[in-house]
Amino acid sequence: MRVKLFHGLLRVSIKILLLEDDLLFAETLIDLLEEEGYIVKHSPNGQDALDATFQEQFDLYLLDINVPLISGTSLLKELRDADDETAAIFLTSHTEKQKLQEGFLSGCDDYMTKPFDMQELLFRIKALLKRTQQVIPETIGDLCHDEKHKTIYYKEDKLELSQKEYGLLLLFMQHVNETVPKELILNELWSSSESGSDGVVRVYVNRLKQMLPDVKFENIRGIGYRLVS
């Protein structure tokens, strides 16, 4: 999920995986979706789509059923068995009730039969995302936390953070304008088997300061640190 700013307002770009082997139809769908502001990854076969799910996180799957290598229903069933609950809509030329039943049993949320009205597809996408996108990014100044994808953005750009850096920055965001004691940081981010210390915490805070030059961190001498909004 990509975070952008338009005229001072925060918006979130939705990433869609499109599985479609008809390249002309895929191009039509991509143009339609990108005009609406969606980010689209196109896969012409089921194996390519499966590989894409390992490389990226998506907010919606649009899946044809009869595609090469791995069918859309088999792909979605495999993803659901792996606890992937990403919203999914089948787009297919099948009209048989058996195929419809297979689609829902494999874990789809909605089903559209080709040919379909493009505006109706957009309406269904928006309705489905409204139900499934329950997490709203938390913003503090130039920082934005996308909880679903465990990602923090700074001035629209995704921060490449280590696990400790992510945990520390998130802790500061959760306690913005409050002093976060060093003891709390160590207890939250370092296990008993790790060698945490005041010096180590200071190193990580300095890393965040270097990454976020316009974000104000205060050192509360002898106590801890504070993120000031």
Q: Is the pLDDT of residue 10 over 60?
A: no
Q: Is the pLDDT of residue 88 over 80?
A: yes
Q: Is the pLDDT of residue 1 over 70?
A: no
Non-local (6+) Cβ contacts of 228 within 8 A are 176, 177, 216, 217, 218
Q: Is the pLDDT of residue 103 over 70?
A: no
Backbone angles phi, psi at 72, to 5 degrees: -60, -40
User: Domain map of the chain by residue range?
Assistant: 2-132, 138-228
Domain boundaries 2-132, corresponding CATH code: 3.40.50.2300
Answer yes or no: are the C-beta atoms of 168 and 215 closer than 8 Å.
no
Question: Which residues face 11 on adjacent strands?
Answer: 4
What fold, for 138-228? Answer: Arc Repressor Mutant, subunit A (1.10.10)
How much of the chain, in percent, has pLDDT values that exceed 70?
86
SS3 sequence, the chain?
CEEEEECCEEEEECEEEEECCCHHHHHHHHHHHHHCCCEEEEECCHHHHHHHHHHCCCCEEEECCCCCCCCHHHHHHHHHHCCCCCEEEEEECCCCHHHHHHHHHCCCCEEEECCCCHHHHHHHHHHHHHHHCCCCCEEECCEEEECCCCEEEECCEECCCCHHHHHHHHHHHHCCCCEEEHHHHHHHHCCCCCCCCHHHHHHHHHHHHHHCCCCEEEEECCCEEEEEC
Provide the Cα torsion 15, 16, 22, 27; round to 10°: -40
User: Measuring CA to CA, which residue among 86, 82, 32 is closest to residue 60?
Assistant: 86
pLDDT at position 67 is 92
Answer yes or no: are the C-beta atoms of 136 and 148 closer than 8 Å.
no
Per-residue confidence band for 226, with pLDDT thresholds at 50, 70 and 90? very high
More confident residue, 105 or 90: 90
pLDDT in tens, 185-215: 988 888 777 777 889 999 999 999 999 999 9
Q: Is the pLDDT of residue 97 over 60?
A: yes
Non-local (6+) Cβ contacts of 207 within 8 A are 165
Average pLDDT for 81-85: 86
Per-residue confidence band for 29, with pLDDT thresholds at 50, 70 and 90? very high
pLDDT at position 98 is 64
Q: Is the pLDDT of residue 12 over 60?
A: no
Average pLDDT for 22-28: 94
